[in-house]
Structure 1
Amino acid sequence: MRKIFIIGIVASGKTTMARQLSEQLNIPWHELDNVVHHQTVEGRIKRTPEEQQAVIADIDRSGGWIFEGVDRSSYRCLYEMADTIIVLDPPLWKRKYRIFARYIKQQLGIEKCSYKSDWNMLRNMYRWTRDFEQSREEFDSRLRPYHSKIVRIKDSRGFLRREGGTIHHDYF
């Protein structure tokens, strides 16, 4: 059974990698943003940390999974639960570019999102990126106990490659 936690800051490539691994390995993937914010007919509602952990536990009981998200205290339990932790860490300039490119695509209707794409969200994404860089040492120290499970990827181009209709992984 495979349990993979893909973690990284905004625009590090988590969703893209999760989607590709899910397809190739035939394992369901889950966006942790959707665990935190539950979609209802009234709109998006933020779950409590306890509710988030209950959702994660339910998914874990069902077998293999791929979770992808940022480092949030309410789902740090995934560090222990995962067989493999993939840390996506592309260069800062690339993440900043991707944030802006994503915003433009959302404004043009080319890319969908589950949140309100506006100037405020754009500013938040840059602020979260800055805050992550300032607390990177803390993040790395939280990961140290799990070093034997960690695969750190600075550039995913060499990690996932497509040949014909198949995605090949250098690690999996």
Structure 2
Amino acid sequence: MFEIRIHIIGGSGSGKSYIAALLSDKFRIPHYDLDDIFWDHQSNEYGVKAPEDERDRRLREIIGLDSWIAEGVYGSWVGPSFAAADKIVVLMTPLSVQEERIRKRYEERIAGIVPSRKRETLEGIHSLLAWNKDYNLTKLPNLIGNSGYKDKMILVRDNLDLLELQLM
């Protein structure tokens, strides 16, 4: 195991969790899905945020480690992770692919094919699709263009290309 800190961002369905797991196995370092920290999965409702102090504490614990892969997009909340990261991977998966994955993931979770702690609703999925479109077309380009971390960013169109890149 070697020391590296990687933060992966991209729209919902872009493959963040998938590539984080592959990189985690390749480098033998832990990965963290920031959804598990940001959202309150104990709530009976979908979309309830975890307490802010708890979220912040858990994020600080992760980024205080020598090596990690964090994946998730949460505006300014991930600022400390961006600052601590050696590399920020930006997944530029086509929007149509992301939308297909979001729908498929929802159907598999509802059918019980894929276990999930998330309590998704059809209305929530429609909101997620709208948010994701805005994120990909507006927010992500602005983030890339205005980031103070451009020197750390790796833009990737095919997630599996990351496995071939020298991230060190």
TM-score between the two structures when normalised by the length of structure 2? 0.85
Q: Secondary structure at the match of 2:161?
A: coil
Q: Which amino acid letter does the alignment assign opposite residue 135 of structure 1?
A: K
Match of residue 140 from structure 1: 144
Instruction: Give the aligned CA root-mean-square deviation in angstroms.
Output: 2.1
- Judged with a 3 Å threshold, the aligned counterparts in structure 2 of structure 1 residues 138 and 79 are, in CA distance, closer, same or farther, namely same
2:165 to 148, 153, 170: 170
Q: 1:12-27, aligned counterparts within 5 Å?
A: 12-27=14-29
Deviations 1:97-124 (A, max 9, x none): 1111111211222222221122022112
Contact 1:6-1:66 within 8 A present in 2 as well: yes
2:84 to 63, 81, 84: 81
Q: 1:95-134, aligned counterparts within 5 Å?
A: 95-132=98-135, 133-134=137-138
Match of residue 57 from structure 2: 54
Runs of 4+ in 1 over 6 A off after TM superposition: none
- Judged with a 3 Å threshold, the aligned counterparts in structure 2 of structure 1 residues 22 and 131 are, in CA distance, closer, same or farther, namely same
Give the whole-Å Cα distance in 1 for the aligned partners of 2:62 and 2:139.
Answer: 30
Give the whole-Å Cα distance in 1 for the aligned partners of 2:61 and 2:141.
Answer: 32
Q: Which deviates the most, 62-71 or 18-27?
A: 62-71
Give the whole-Å Cα distance in 2 for the aligned partners of 1:100 and 1:35.
Answer: 23
Number of matched residues?
162
Q: Which amino acid letter does the alignment assign opposite residue 121 of structure 1?
A: G
Cα deviation for residue 125 of structure 1 reads 1.6
Query: Unaligned 5+ residue runs, structure 1?
Result: 161-168
Q: Percent identity?
A: 26
Query: Unaligned 5+ residue runs, structure 2?
Result: none
Contact 1:52-1:75 within 8 A present in 2 as well: no
More helix by share: 2
Q: Which amino acid letter does the alignment assign opposite residue 37 of structure 2?
A: V
TM-score between the two structures when normalised by the length of structure 1? 0.83
Give the whole-Å Cα distance in 2 for the aligned partners of 1:61 and 1:77.
Answer: 10
1:70 aligns with 2:65: no
More RCO (CA 8 Å, sep 6+): 2
